[in-house]
Amino acid sequence: MTRALDWQTDGKDWPSRACSRFVEAGGYRWHVQRAGKGPGVLLLHGTGASTHSWKGLFPLLARSFDVLAMDLPGHGFTARLGRSEVSLPGMVRALRALLDAQQFRPGTVIGHSAGAAIAVAMAPLLNPPPHHVIAINGALKPFGGPAALVAPFMAKALALNPLVPPALARSARDPARVARLIEGTGSSPGPDYLEFYGRLFSNAGHVAGTLSMMANWNVADILPPFERAGLPLHQIIGSCDRAVPPSVADETARRIRGVTTQTLNGLGHLAHEEDAAQVAEAILSLLTETDLPVRRVGG
């Protein structure tokens, strides 16, 4: 049996802990964080991360918005209450149940990496639909070539083997290995982020949740419904991203009419962790175009 993260020990110094609460909805006991007043902004982290990924960005956005973030199913401190589907449609259904429980209607949905795919899949189903969907280094393209068959199969095989998550978690107790893994994305977010990633990766429950998400991931069909809904998509990409190359954003822009793309030079896949102020400024510049009442980062 895999041990889940414990809020009293693993979460004792969690970023924005004062904003945390636990909510049961959609088959999960969610760890959510909410702060600020104003139009609603929903934050969706990527595969293998948690709310800690928004450590720098969350308080900046909360100056002007009602911001809601959560640990995605199987990640961080969010725990499954029973049998729950971890596919992309299943996660979207669970998230919609959470939003209903929180009576939260986001005007803006921001997703990082795989979280951007969830944002794109969920946005057309929200009522009312969001004014903005923002993808930070969005993983909006399926695996290509032989990897399209092999990668999900391997992830499923690893997820089904009960010995794999504990073994991977034990290997993550080496801080140097965690640092190499993060640096492989083209980012250097700093020792505080690395410490939280080490805490997550060394937990077998979190590793199992990450593998399950990867094993059931399919983004092939999410773009057509999004385009038919006529929703705007804004892309913020790091020029040094080695996990989701900038070419993915270029391909998305060719497939969907009206997509806007902003490149942040020198930043990698975890751009919002490396330079939260610069990413916040890019987001606020997009939102102020609709005359929403926002304060600038330095304000």
pLDDT of residue 148: 44
Residue 93 lies in a domain: yes
Q: How many domains does the chain have?
A: 1
Q: Across-strand partners of 69?
A: 33, 43
Residue 154 lies in a domain: no
How far is the C-alpha of 264 from the C-alpha of 137, rounded, in Å?
10
Residue 158 lies in a domain: no
Residue type, 245: P
How far is the C-alpha of 123 from the C-alpha of 42, rounded, in Å?
11
pLDDT of residue 1: 43
Residue 162 lies in a domain: no
Residue 201 lies in a domain: no
How far is the C-alpha of 198 from the C-alpha of 172, rounded, in Å?
6
Residue 150 lies in a domain: no
Domain that holds residue 232: 17-145+219-288
Give the pLDDT of the chain (299 residues) as one tens digit per residue.
456 799 999 999 999 999 999 999 999 999 999 999 999 999 999 999 999 999 999 999 999 999 999 999 999 999 988 766 678 899 999 999 999 999 999 999 999 999 999 999 999 999 999 999 999 999 998 654 444 444 454 444 444 455 556 666 777 678 888 888 899 999 999 999 999 999 999 998 898 888 888 877 788 889 899 989 999 999 999 999 998 999 999 999 988 888 999 999 999 999 999 999 999 999 999 887 554 444 444 44
Residue 294 lies in a domain: no
Residue 254 lies in a domain: yes
Query: What CATH number is given to the structural domain containing 237?
Result: 3.40.50.1820
